[in-house]
Amino acid sequence: MTTPWRLLVALVCACMASVDHAQQGGGSVPALRYDAQTRGAVPIPPSQRGLQTVVAEPWFKVFDTGLVLEGPAFDRDGNLLFCDVGGGRVLRLTPDRRLSTVVRLDQLGPGGLAVHRDGRIFIAALDFAKSVGADVAVQPDGSGMQVVVPPEAGYMPNDLVFDARGGLYFTDFRGASTDPKGGVYYVSPDLRTITSVLPHLAMANGVALSPDGKELWATEFSRNLLHRVELADATTVTPFGTAIAYHFTGPAPDSMRADADGNLYVAMYSQGRVLAFNRNGIPIGQVLLPGREEGHNLRSTSMAIRPGSNDLYVVTNDGEGGQGATIFHAEAFAQALPLYSHR
Q: Which of 75, 254, 259, 318 is catalytic?
A: 254
CB atoms within 10 A of CB 223: 20
254 counts as catalytic: yes
Alpha carbons 256 and 226: distance in angstroms, whole number: 10
CB atoms within 10 A of CB 13: 10
What DSSP assignment string belongs to 32-86?
----TTTSSSSPPPGGGTTSEEEE-EEEEEEESS-PPEEEEEE-TTSPEEEEETT
The dihedral of CA 130, 91, 67, 274: what is its sign? positive
Mapped onto helix, strand or coil, the DSSP state of residue 270 is coil
Phi, psi dihedral angles at 230 (to 5 degrees): -90, 130
Contact 217, 249 (CB under 8 A): no
Alpha carbons 343 and 341: distance in angstroms, whole number: 6
Residues classed as catalytic:
254
